[in-house]
Amino acid sequence: MAAADELGYRPNAIAQGLITRRSGMIAVIISNLTNLHYPEVLAELTQGLSGRGARVLLFALKSESEIDEILDQVWRYQVDGAIVAARLSDDQLSTFKARGTALVLYNRQSDGVPVASVACEFAAGEALLVDGMIASGCCNFAIIGGPTDSTVGEARVNGALDRLALAGLTSVPIERGDFSYQGGYDAATRLLKDKRIDAIISANDTMALGAMDAARLDFGHQIPETLSIVGFDGVAPAKWRSYDLTTMRQPVGRMTTAAISMLFDQIENPDLGPEKRLFSGSLIRGKTARLAG
């Protein structure tokens, strides 16, 4: 019988799945793969899932409107579970429960339906950044946010705003970008017309890098002397020496590991109550902000 194996025989996983009702496939749904942060997440997820004997069925959304057709495919393929970094409506969330498909949200929360999720704590992270900048003398803040329909983006903007308000800083100008370098560059170009701005908080690193270039190359700013800039994520280019961005690094490894184990917990024990796990980021003291304290 082992001879058959030498002949190239491999059990048909598709047929196996039909009978065991376990396809061995996990849907990974990511809304903007081109964001520098997500390839890292995807790589970790793929490795981690592979280590637990599962395969990744990948879905990348070009726009959030595609999510319905994507979910349609997800149902057809009988995936054992899904890890989702995209906006899901309450209806869509309920469908997962109704169909008994395990689900973990990545860096998103649900206000309505209870659902398992992992996320990086932004409030504490933003607070740390904001407090440090205030303590070092920044007083005219501006924010570069994501699109208003982005959960992550809004959360980070609000986290920063809250902390600024706590320090008595209100009416902070906000410009929005699409999380891209160019988006950050353009947003900063609009913001820096106001010469008093001496601190920019960006909702992610890539936009912060664009903002840095606009500030120093077009506006003649010295960073961090005349302008502080901070980001969020801790992507690889933020560490590059031409930038050396001050930012909060998401613990990608721990988050993906957690997402995977939560997913398998659900699969093995279907009526497990959903759990939310929050990880705190780690401060990367780059050279783009003087952080006192």
Query: What are the strands, taking DSSP E only, across the chain?
Result: 25-30, 55-60, 81-85, 102-106, 116-121, 141-145, 174-176, 199-202, 228-230, 247-249, 276-280, 282-284
Q: What number of CA atoms fall less than 13 Å from residue 26's CA on the CB side?
A: 30
Tokens 């376990």 -> residue = 22
Cβ closer to DNA: 11 or 168? 11
First to last CA, the chain: 68
Residue 243 as a binder of a second copy (CB under 8 A): the answer is yes
Q: Which stretch binds DNA (CB under 7 A): 16-24, 135-143, 166-174, 219-227?
A: 16-24
Tokens 């209806």 -> residue = 91
DSSP label at residue 66: G
Q: Minimum Å distance from CB 67 to a second copy?
A: 12
Q: What kind and span of H or E run contains 70?
A: helix 67-76
Instruction: Tell me, by CB under 8 A, how many residues bind a second copy.
Output: 52
Cβ closer to a second copy: 57 or 124? 57
- Which of 64, 78, 87, 127 binds a second copy (CB under 8 A)? It is 78
How many of the other CB atoms lie within 10 Å of CB of 16?
13
Q: Minimum Å distance from CB 51 to DNA?
A: 21
Q: Which does 19 bind (CB under 5 to 8 A by kind): a second copy, DNA, none?
A: DNA
- Which of 3, 19, 111, 149 binds DNA (CB under 7 A)? It is 19
Cβ closer to a second copy: 36 or 289? 36
Phi–psi pair at 121, nearest 5 degrees: -60, 115
The residues of the shown chain that bind a second copy, judged by CB under 8 A, are 8, 10-15, 17-18, 23, 25, 28, 33-34, 36, 38-40, 42-43, 46-47, 50, 55-60, 62, 72-73, 75-78, 95, 98-99, 181, 185, 209-210, 212-213, 217, 236-237, 240-243
